[in-house]
Structure 1
């Protein structure tokens, strides 16, 4: 099966650029939060039971499930209620940020790449809109110009 993707270079105005940067920052926060859950899960299983230090080790229940992609994607609607800033970004864009994290985890586990790292401010440089019928930045008056 052949899949065709289109990649566009956009030329946003200043207000649209600020909005897109804000969305990237929110996606970076969601990415880092998901990575923190995964790292906590791994760190809670590092040491032997009889040799764990209570002050230096993560303590989680032994039956707590791995925070997989589906679990984290299903947690996004509840997270939007707790953190209203997540509601500013389209839901599919947030889902793609979480999927990006889990693709990095698969690269670590199966391919042998390094463990995913936390993204600092300015390191999360792309947004993925899997589908849209109209301008995704619809709150602004002017349009984004595509090349």
Structure 2
């Protein structure tokens, strides 16, 4: 058995340990019993943000706003990427209008802003929307 991976449930946000060799098979949350992988971005708030980005899997966060045209155009690209990148990478979204404290904490100056976190640390940041192939390339470049 391999070293367990620590990750937060996308539903109840509780931390879970999953053996690394069972990552591809997925798993269920020990608390709420729902799947640990939904192939959809997780909506994060100030209360749930740290639980997700501090886990062992890389997390790509899309900081966006409901009134932002480029954010709306990029949303389907981000959704499709979740289907392709999970379970090796988790994707999450933060509405900067509803979660202004998170926008301030990470000095978000333009939206969409994409950030990649590994074990709680920011490892990459990019402002602006990308086409699907470029977005996937950018993510893979920073998680390997």
Q: Which protein has greater RCO, CA pairs closer than 8 Å, 6+ apart?
A: 1
Give the TM-score normalised by the residue count of structure 1. 0.28
Give 1 or 2: higher helix fraction: 1
Q: Which has the higher strand share?
A: 2
Structure whose CA Rg is larger: 1
TM-score by length of 2: 0.28
